A and B are shown apart, each in its own frame.
Chain A
Amino acid sequence: MTRTNDLILRTTTALIAFILLGFSVYLFFAGHNKPGGGFIGGLMASAALVLMNMAYGLNVIRKVIPVNFLYMIFTGLIIAVGTGVGAFLFNAPFLTQNFGYFQLPILGRTELATALLFDLGVYLTVIGVTMTIILTVADDREED
């Protein structure tokens, strides 16, 4: 059987994966005041990764993105627990969240909340879990 040519899939993936990653970051930051948040943002990022895996194959993406997604779950959980434990430093109950207004260079006066850090933990955990499941299922052939 001759090899099929998937030039169109690869070219569109190169464009669309960036749009997906941008949309995922947008959903992640929009979660405070609009629909979105860490969970759906992480799902979008893993959708982009799955699309890249479908277009270029496992081994190429493993070289391009040399990330062990099991460690990513670990990092996300550490960040999420860390924001909860960090409240003890200020004599507040576990998982107390706080926010403040800061003057940022380009964005101007912005509300920064520690809930964003907790969301970052959720984001990384969701990417890690989804990619671990999908790549483990995809890579189930016997080692040769």
Chain B
Amino acid sequence: MEELLEVTKTLINVSAMIAIIGVSFSVMLLLYRAIKGPSSPDRAVALDVIGINIMALAGIIAILLVSTQFNDVILLIGILLFIGTIALAKFLEKGVIIERDMD
């Protein structure tokens, strides 16, 4: 029984490390798109997906550290990301983020 517990612990640790490496690789590819991206919408989408990857990283690190305190942080990143992306999209499309009158 003890042995099974140890095996499960190493299994979770190893798979979390593999997932962290995968997500980090994808963040690096997205950074390439964010730096190189020919147009502004390319960069906006790349930044959006980088944020989603950071949410995933926070989740995996919460598993590694065996803690539930990261759950609020993940939700927070998601919300701020959503608002930031909407602001960027409005700026790219309309030139203003908060309009006075929209009818």
Taking Cβ atoms with an 8 Å cutoff, the residues of A that contact B are 3-4, 9, 16, 20, 23, 27, 30, 34-36, 40, 44, 47, 50-51, 53-54, 56-60, 134-135, 138-139, 141
Contact = CB atoms under 8 A, between A and B. Distances in A.
B10 interface: no
A135 B72 CA distance: 27
Interface of B: 69, 72-73, 75-76, 79-80, 82-83, 86-87, 90, 93-94, 97-103
Nearest to A141: B100
A20 B93 CA distance: 25
Contacts of A34: 69, 72
A50 B79 CA distance: 12
Contact of A58 (B73, B79, B87, B99): B99
Contacts of B83: 47, 50-51, 54
A54 B98 contact: yes
Contacts of B75: 23
B79 A44 contact: yes
A91 to B, nearest CB: 38
Contact of B98 (A3, A4, A16, A58): A58
A100 to B, nearest CB: 27
A57 B87 CA distance: 13
